Amino acid sequence: MNDSDTEPSTPVLLDLVNSRLTLSDGVFDELDTDHHAREWLRARGGRGTPAEIAGARRVRDVLVPFLRGETGSDVLAPWLAGMRKSASLEEGRLVWSLDVADELAIGARAIEEWNALQTPTGSRIRPCANPECQHFLVDHSKANSRRWHSMESCGNRMKSRRHYAKSRELAS
C-alpha cells in the first residue's frame, strides 16, 4: 500500500467522471467490465483489485451528480471518514501518501483532487456548458472562464448555433 507507485501522481478525477457517456447508440463505459476497469485503474497508478474497481464505480455515481450541483458535499462523507495519510522518508524528504482501504482508494484520490481545484473564482472542474454534452472539464486558465470541454466538438457548435439563432432573429 505504501509503495511509491500508489501515490496519486496521475490525476484520476477528470478521467473518472468522463468515463461513462450515454450516446445515441448506447452507453460507453470505460469501467464496464472488470477487465477494462482493471486496465483503466492500473494506467492511473491504481492496483486494479476487485475492491478498488467496485469503489471506483461507486464513487463515480456520487461524483457525477455532485459536480453537476445536484447534490451537496455531504455525499462525500463516507470517503472522508476513511481517508488517512501516512508519512515516509524518501531520499531524505518527508512524503505523505494516502493510506486507505482499496474500496476507498479512488474516491479518496478524486476528492483530494477536487479539493485542490476549488479556488476563490469557483471550482476549476465543472460540466461542459453544452447542455447536450456529458463531459466535464478542468480549467487551468488564469480567468477560470473556460466553458467547453472541447472547442472543436462543443464550443464551435454552440457558437454557430447562437449565431444562427441571432441571424434568424435579425431577419424576422
Binding site for Zn ion (CB under 5 A): 128, 130, 133, 135, 149, 154
- Residue 74 vs 152, nearer CB to Zn ion: 152
| Secondary structure class of 119 (helix, strand, coil) | strand
Reading the block at residue 167, the C-alpha cell is 441571424
Element (H, E) at 169: helix 156-171
- Residue 82 vs 155, nearer CB to Zn ion: 155
CB of 152 to Zn ion, least distance (A): 10
* CB count in 10 Å sphere of residue 149: 22
CB of 87 to Zn ion, least distance (A): 40
CB of 77 to Zn ion, least distance (A): 30
Sequence-ordered alpha helix ranges (H) in 5-146 = 13-17, 34-42, 50-67, 77-81, 102-116
- Residue 73 vs 160, nearer CB to Zn ion: 160
- Residue 62 vs 129, nearer CB to Zn ion: 129
CB of 133 to Zn ion, least distance (A): 3
